[in-house]
Amino acid sequence: MKSITRVFSGGERGIALATVLMLTLLMSILVGAMLVGSANDTLISGNDVKTNQAFYIAEAGIHRAAGWFSSKFGADPNSGLFVLPQEYSSNTAGVAGQLSYTPAPFFQKGALLNTAEQKIPTAVKVLSGGVLQNVVLAGDGGNTFFSSYTVTANDLAGNPKAFSYSGLAADFANTLYNQTVGEGKFSVKATLVSVIPPSGSQHGTVTWLLESDGVIFRAGNTAMANATIWAYLSALVTPIQQTTTVTTTQTVPAGAGVIGRGMIYWNANGIVTDSYKSSKGAYGAALAAHSYTGQIGSVNKGSRGDLRTNNEFSGYIDVSNGAVTGSASATLGAPALPSDPQAIVIDTSKVQDGQGHAFSPSSEYFAQPPLTFQDIPDPTPPAAGSNDYSWASKSAGTLPSGNYNNISISKGALTVPPGNYGTIDVSSQGSIVLGAQGTTTTYNLQGFTSGAQTTIIFKGPVVINVMSSLDVGAQSSPSDLSLPASAIRWNFKGGPGKTVSIGGGGRTLGVFYAPNNDLTMRGNTSFYGAIVARSINVVGTADIHIDEDSLTGVTTTTGSSTTTTTTVGYTGTNYNLWRITQSLN
C-alpha cells in the first residue's frame, strides 16, 4: 500500500507564531495589572496606618488634657489649685469685670477665623474695656491676655492665704501644645464653654471644649496625615469657702447710770443704787415680774444701777458702803494693784448688790470703750435791759409777759414760762412751776438755786440749760413723780471753779448733765434719773434710782463681730470626658 505525506505551507507557520505572541502579551498585561494592584494596595494600607496614627496621637492629646485638668484643678483646694478664681460669676457670656464662659467661635472679640490667636490655648475669659479677654490659660507674648491671677482662701491651718498663679498658661502649652509623640505631634486647645455655679447644696458644673490636632510627619517635616478630635470635658464644681470674722463698730448711747469723766466716790452709810424704767410707771410701783430685763421682783425695780468712769483726771470708782445692783465699768485696763488710783475699788465686805448678796468682782469691767461727751452750747442770755422780778405772795401766780433777768420766789407758787432768764432763786416756802403739758419746753438760765423746803413742779418735759451756778437741793422736791425722770434734763455749761450741788433732803428728779464740772450729792436724798459729771461725790446717805429710759447724751462705741462664709474659688471633681466628633485627613 502506498503512504500519503502532508506538507504544511509557510503561511500556516506564521499564524501559529502570532498566536503565541498574543498570548504572551496578554499574560504580561495580566501580570502587570497584578503588580500595580499590589502596589496600590500597599500604598493605601500605608496611608491608613498613618491616618490611624494621627488619630491616636490626637486621642492621646485629649486624654492627656483630661489628666492635666484633673491634676491641676481636682486636688485639695487648700493646696491652691482651683478651677476658677474668686471673681467667678455665672453662666453668662462676656460680663464686664467678671469671669464668664466664651461664646462661639471662642476667640477674642474682633479676631478673624483661622488666625494665630485662634490657636492660642484658652480657658476662661473676661470682658475688659469691651474686649473679651482670656484669663486662666492664655498668653500671646504681647500682653494682650492676663497671664496670672490670685485667689484668697484658707490654708490647711485655716488661716487666710493668697494663692497667686502665673505659670498655668506656660504649663498648659508645655504639656499639651505642639507635643511630640512618636513620628507625630499633638496640640490641644481648651476653651471654657459653660460654667454653672453651685446653688445651695447642689453642685455646679464646668465644661471645657477640648480640640486636639494630631499630625504624622514624613522626612522633611512634611505632614503626611492629620486627625482632629473634639471632646467635652466636664466636672462638678465645688465652692471653696472661707470663713471670716468681721468686727464693726458703731456709735451708740452709753446708757443711763452714774457716769463720771473722772472719779466716782462715796464713803457714806447706806447708799443704795438700783434702777427702774419710768416708761413702766413710778419707781417701786407694782409690776408683773419679768416685765423687762433685770427686773427685781414684782415691782418697778431693776438691777441696772450702773457706775462708770472714763478714767480722765485720775478717775476711779470708790464705793465703800451701800447696795450696788448694777455693774462698775472703767475705760483703762485692770489695775496692777488694788491701790491703783485708776481702778474700781469696792469694799465687797460692806457693799451688797441690793438683793442681799455681796457685790461680785464679776460685775467689774475694765478696758471698756472710751466715752464721748457732747458739748453744751452757752445758754442764751436774757434780752438787754431786762428787769428783775420778785414773788413773795402766798398765793399762786404767773410771771407776767416781758423780759426778765433775775427772778426770786420766796413764798407761794410762781409759774415761769419757758424763755431766757438770768438767775432763778427759789427759797424758803416758795414753789416754782415749769413746763407745759404735751410739749417739751426750754429754759436758758444763767443760774438756778432752790433752797430749803422749796417745791419744783413740772407740768411737762423740760430742758433747763444753766450757765454758771446750779443748786437743786436742800428740802426742794418735785410735787410728784408721775412725770418720767427722763423727761427732765438739766444741762450745766459751767467752767473752771464751778460746781453742781443736788439733794440734801427730799427728792431730786431728772437727768443731770455736767461734763465740765464736779457734782456733789448731799445726804438724805432720794434721786431719780441719771448723772453725768466731771466727777461725782456722794457725801451722805442716798437712794439713787437710775431711770433706764434716760438718754444722757454720752456715747460710746460698740463692736459687733459677724462671722460670714464667702466663696473664694471653685474646685472641680468627678471629671467626665466624652467625644463629640472627629475629622481624619
Please check whether residue 342 lies inside any domain of the structure.
Answer: yes
Q: What is the pLDDT of residue 425?
A: 95
Domain assignment of residue 559, yes or no: no
Q: The pTM is what?
A: 0.60
Q: How many of the other CB atoms lie within 10 Å of CB of 410?
A: 17
Distance CA 493, CA 259 (A): 17
Q: Give the residue from 579, 503, 570 showing the smallest Cα distance to 241.
A: 570
Average confidence (pLDDT) per 10 residues, the chain, 585 residues: 47 69 76 61 62 91 87 53 40 46 45 48 43 39 44 52 60 80 85 71 79 83 87 79 73 92 84 92 93 94 93 84 88 68 77 78 87 94 94 92 94 95 90 92 95 83 95 63 85 89 86 95 90 93 93 87 68 77 75
d(CA 502, CA 258): 14
User: Same domain for 352 and 476?
Assistant: no
Cβ(253)–Cβ(551) below 8 Å: yes
Residue 500, domain member (yes or no)? no
**Does residue 101 contact residue 193 with C-beta atoms inside 8 Å?**
yes
Instruction: Give me the pLDDT at residue 353, please.
Output: 77
Same domain, 370 and 393: no
Which pLDDT value is given to residue 164?
Answer: 57
Grid cell for residue 491: 444741762
Nearest to 501 by CA among 531, 545, 478: 531
Q: Does any domain span residue 206?
A: yes
Question: Which pLDDT value is given to residue 332?
Answer: 77
Q: Is residue 435 left, alpha or beta, with left meaning phi > 0 and alpha meaning psi from -120 to 50? A: left
**Extended beta strands in 5-112, E state:** 99-100
Residue in the block written with cell 460685775: 363
183 and 275: one domain? no
- What is the pLDDT at residue 1? 44
Alpha carbon distance 309, 488 (integer Å): 23
Instruction: Please list, in sequence order, all residues whose beta carbon lies within 8 angstroms of the beta carbon of residue 528, skipping any fewer than 6 positions away.
Output: 276, 278, 283, 481, 485, 507, 508, 509, 510, 545, 547
For residue 419, give every residue at least 6 positions away whose Cβ sits within 8 Å of its Cβ, in sequence order, or none. 404, 443, 444
Q: What is the CA radius of gyration of the chain?
A: 49
Question: What pLDDT is stored for residue 567 in this prediction?
Answer: 63
165 and 300: one domain? no
Please check whether residue 32 lies inside any domain of the structure.
no
Q: For residue 215, give the nearest of 202, 201, 229, 204 by alpha carbon.
A: 229
Both 406 and 353 in one domain: the answer is: no
Instruction: Let me know whether 212 and 65 are in one domain.
Output: yes
Instruction: Dig out the grid coordinates for 206 from the structure.
Output: 464646668
User: Is residue 509 domain-resident?
Assistant: no
What pLDDT, on the 0 to 100 scale, is given for residue 143?
33
What pLDDT shows up at residue 142? Answer: 34
Q: Which three cell numbers stand for residue 134?
A: 482670656
- Judgement on whether residues 241 and 100 belong to the same structural domain of the protein: yes
Residue type for position 449: T
Strands 322-324 and 351-352: parallel
Whole-angstrom distance, CA of residue 101 vs CA of residue 196: 10
- 57: enclosing H helix or E strand: helix 10-73
- Domain-embedded: residue 17: no
Q: Are 423 and 390 within one domain?
A: yes
Q: Report the domain count for the chain.
A: 3
Distances (CA, A) of 187 to 30, 101, 559: 47, 22, 57
In this predicted model, what pLDDT tens digit does every residue of 261-292 receive, in sequence order? 999 988 777 788 999 999 999 899 999 999 99
d(CA 490, CA 553): 11
Task: Indicate whether 389 and 359 sit together in one domain.
Answer: no
CB atoms within 10 A of CB 248: 9
Which residue in this structure is represented by grid cell 420766796?
A: 410
DSSP lists the bridge partners of residue 240 as 569
Angle, vertex CA 324, rays to CA 319 and CA 328, nearest 5: 70
Q: Is residue 371 part of a domain?
A: yes
Give the max Cα distance, the chain: 206
For residue 526, give the H/E element and its range.
strand 525-538
Residues 370 and 381 in one domain: no
Among 474, 492, 510, identify where a domain stops.
492
Burial tier of 181 (Cβ tally within 10 Å: 0-12, 13-18, 19+): middle
- The residue type of 46 is G
165 and 140 within one domain: yes
- Per-residue pLDDT at 313: 82
CB 546, CB 306: distance < 8 Å: yes
What per-residue confidence (pLDDT) applies to 309? 92
Same domain? 572 vs 532:
no
Domain that holds residue 366: 255-375+519-552
